[in-house]
């Protein structure tokens, strides 16, 4: 369990942030963040102020990485790159998340290691993580300013024969009563742009492997863009499936068998393939070591699916 509660007894009154700093050997900023997140309790009361004087029975909830054999693909003094498997969260969503990529980051990069960008739980591939706050700020700035270039691979439904671009405004969905799509194409949404290049077509699966080059970074951008042009990513349980399937998936009652039958694959067939960026005047261009093309074995033949998109 990554989150654990540590218990202490203090005889001499001390400011809360100073106690956390000395006891956990953290920076002042990190100790203040723990307190603001409600993770420090003094005499059964959650602390609200880092400067509050405390003594007596104290408990602190901290993230303690679960030790796993998942070393980074590449590492420097400032950042690491992981080849994330599909199905693993980047960051724990609750205190009861059994394992996330943050465990691996903290294990191999130290207590200040953090993910530098988003990647969906079911998307596999390259994940960039910083090792300290200065690197985190610099790398996140690179993503925000679009000077870190990403490419993805996706197995999509149907035959794609030509390069194409999708330029449509995207908006987060606020009403899930009839539509479980988390993002929709709306005129009032934010601009988004992705370029797509077909790589190969598998006639038995009626599926095309495409390269995806996002020029903006909207939520679910690649998934929504491919659904929008009627080539949804195989294995996608949200976009391109009947309402009852997406609803069952979100309620965590969709079986592995039904997912494959209705979506065409047992997992989301989207993979973060490459990263290209400059850091401290050094050019890095790194490719995933996972052979995503071979994962076509997870795709069901078109005629075996219950719902043809």
Sequence-ordered list of residues with C-beta below 8 angstroms from that of 185, at least 6 positions apart, any chain: 168, 169, 170, 171, 224, 228
Under a CB-based contact definition with an 8 Å cutoff, are residues 241 and 286 in contact? no
Under a CB-based contact definition with an 8 Å cutoff, are residues 41 and 54 in contact? no
CA 88 to CA 63: how far, in whole Å? 17
Catalytic residue among 57, 69, 103, 120: 120
Which residues in 28-60 are b (16+ Cβ under 10 Å) and which e? eebbbebbeeebbbbeeeebeebeeebeeebeb
CA 252 to CA 237: how far, in whole Å? 11
User: What's the token pair of residue 107?
Assistant: 């294990």
Under a CB-based contact definition with an 8 Å cutoff, are residues 127 and 272 in contact? yes
* Active-site residue flag, 120: yes
The Cβ of residue 151 has, within 10 Å, a number of other Cβ atoms equal to 20
Closest CA to 88 of 131, 116, 127: 127
3-class SS of residue 114: strand
Q: How far is CA 105 from CA 21, 73, 141, 200, 222, in A?
A: 22, 12, 20, 35, 26
User: What's the token pair of residue 25?
Assistant: 């050997």
Under a CB-based contact definition with an 8 Å cutoff, are residues 179 and 246 in contact? no
Which amino acids are annotated catalytic?
A: 120
């Amino acid at each position: 369990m990554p989150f654990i509660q540590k218990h202490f007894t203090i005889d001499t009154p001390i400011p809360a942030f100073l106690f956390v700093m000395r006891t956990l050997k953290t920076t002042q900023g990190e100790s203040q963040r723990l307190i603001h997140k409600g993770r420090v309790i003094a005499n059964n009361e959650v602390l609200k102020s880092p400067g509050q004087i405390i003594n007596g029975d104290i408990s602190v909830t901290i993230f303690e990485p679960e030790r796993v054999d998942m070393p980074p693909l590449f590492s420097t003094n400032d950042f690491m790159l992981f080849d994330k498997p599909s199905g693993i969260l980047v960051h724990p969503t609750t205190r009861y998340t059994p394992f996330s990529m943050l465990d691996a980051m903290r294990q191999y990069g130290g207590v200040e290691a953090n993910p530098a960008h988003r990647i969906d739980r079911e998307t596999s591939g390259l994940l960039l993580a910083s090792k300290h706050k200065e690197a985190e700020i610099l790398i996140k700035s690179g993503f925000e300013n679009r000077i870190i270039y990403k490419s993805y691979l996706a197995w999509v439904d149907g035959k794609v024969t030509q390069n194409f671009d999708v330029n449509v405004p995207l908006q987060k969905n606020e009403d899930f009563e009839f539509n479980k799509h988390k993002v929709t194409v709306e005129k009032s949404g934010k601009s988004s742009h992705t370029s797509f290049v077909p790589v190969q077509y598998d006639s038995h699966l009626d599926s095309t492997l495409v390269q995806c080059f996002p020029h903006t970074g909207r939520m679910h951008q690649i998934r929504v863009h491919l659904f929008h042009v009627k080539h949804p990513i195989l294995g996608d349980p949200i976009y391109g499936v009947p309402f009852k399937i997406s609803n069952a998936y979100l309620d965590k009652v969709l079986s592995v068998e039904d997912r494959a039958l209705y979506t065409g694959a047992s997992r989301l067939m989207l993979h973060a393939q490459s990263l290209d960026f400059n850091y401290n005047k050094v050019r890095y261009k790194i490719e995933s070591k996972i052979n995503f093309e071979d994962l076509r074995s997870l795709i069901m033949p078109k005629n075996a699916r219950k719902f043809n998109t």
